[in-house]
Structure 1
Amino acid sequence: MAGQRHDVREMEESFARCSIEDEKQGLVYAEDSSELSEIDTRWCLVGMFLTESTIDFQAMQHKMASLWRPGKGVYVKQLEPNRFLFQFYHEINIKRVCDGSPWMFGRFHLVFERLKEGMDPRTMPINNLDIWVQLHGIGTGFMSQRVVTDIGNHIGKFVEGDANNFVGVWREYFRVRVTILLHSPLKRRMKIMKNATEWC
C-alpha cells in the first residue's frame, strides 16, 4: 500500500508540473476564410495585370471603376500583390466588362477569368486574354463569315465578329474577337486556299 501511495503521489506531482500553455505548441489553426465567405461567386472576376511592377491598388480600383461605371458599384479586393477580386452586383455589369475586354491600367493589360463556384480565387489559373484583331489582305472571293470565323480560330479561339464586317460596299479590313493563350506566340499571317487553286 505504501508503494502504491508513493506512485500516486509521484503521478500527482508530475501532473501538477504540466502546463496547459505547453500544449499550445501542438495546436493547428485553420486559416480564416471568413473574409471571402460573403463573396457572391455569380458575379466575380479574378484578374491580374501583365506587369512585374507593383500595382497602386487605390489608383487602380478608382481607374477601373471609372472605366466600367457599373450601375450598382464594384467591390475590389487585393488577394496578392498582383491578383485582384472584382465583385459586381448584376449580370449586366459583369457581362459588359467581359465583352469590353481588353482593359488597361496605365500601360498594363488586365487579364481575368470569371470565378467559378468552388474555385479558390487565390490559386485559380488566369491564362486567357480576349482581344480584337484586324484582318487585312483578305481577297474578294474570301470575304465570308465562315472565313472570318476560321481565321479567328487559327489565331486563338473565335469569340465573335464585328457586326459591321459585312456592312457597306468596301472595307479595308475585318475585325474579329478572339481568345488567346498568354503563353502562346502570336500568329501574324496565314494562307487561305479556295478550290485548291486560289490562294489568299
Structure 2
Amino acid sequence: MADSGLVVLSYITLPAVGSAEAPSGYDEHDYEKLKAFLELANEAGTNGSKLSAGYDPDNPDTWAGVTWSDSTPKRVTHINWAPMGLIGNLDVSGCTELKSLDCENNHLDSLNVSNCTALESLNCYHNRLTSLHASNCTALQSLDCYDNQLSTLDLSNCTALNLLDCQNNQLSNLDVSTCAALTSLKCSNNRLASLDVSNCTALRDLSCRYNQLTFANL
C-alpha cells in the first residue's frame, strides 16, 4: 500500500496559564486583575514583593496596600501603592467597588480604571504613563495625573469630575465635554492646539499656559 503522506496529530487542550481560581470568599474579577499586576517583575522583583516581603500571590491577605470589603465575595475598595517602584501596566477596569486609588511616584506605563463606577479619587502623578483610560468613572471627583508622558486621556462620562490636574504631559487633545461639574482644570505644559470648556459651566479655575493653543472655547 502506497504511503499517502497523511500525518495524524493529536492535540491536548491545556488549561490557560495564569487563570488561577480566586481563593474562597474573594471576587474572581478583582482578584485576577490585581494578581496580574502584582506578578509583573523586573530585576528588583515582582511588584508584589516590592510592596511586602511576605507577599504571597495566592493569598490576598498578604497584598500590602489593598483594602477589601467585608461583604462576600470580597471586592477591592481602596488601593494605596505609593511610592514603591512599581512597574508595568495597571489595569483595574471594572473593579466597581474601588473608591480610591493612589499609585503616584512609581514607574507605571499605562493605567486603566475604566468602568470603576465607585471610584472617587485617583492619584497617579509622577509616573511614566503614556495612556490613562478613565471612561465611565461616573463618581470620580478628583484626578491628579500631572508629570507623566500622557498622549491619551479618556474622561468620557466622568460626569462628577471636579478637579483635574494633567499638567506636564504630552496631550495634543483634551476632551472634557462630559465633565460638567469641573471647577478646576490645570492643563499647562502640554501640546494642546485647542481647548473647549464650554460645557464646563461650573469652571472657576483654568490654567492652560505653555501649550500650542490657537483656539479656546470658554
Q: Shorter chain as normaliser: what TM range? A: 0.3 to 0.5
Q: Larger Rg: 1 or 2?
A: 1
- TM-score, normalised via structure 1 length: 0.33
Q: Using CA pairs below 8 Å that are at least 6 residues apart, which structure has the higher relative contact order?
A: 1
- TM-score, normalised via structure 2 length: 0.31
Higher helix share: 1
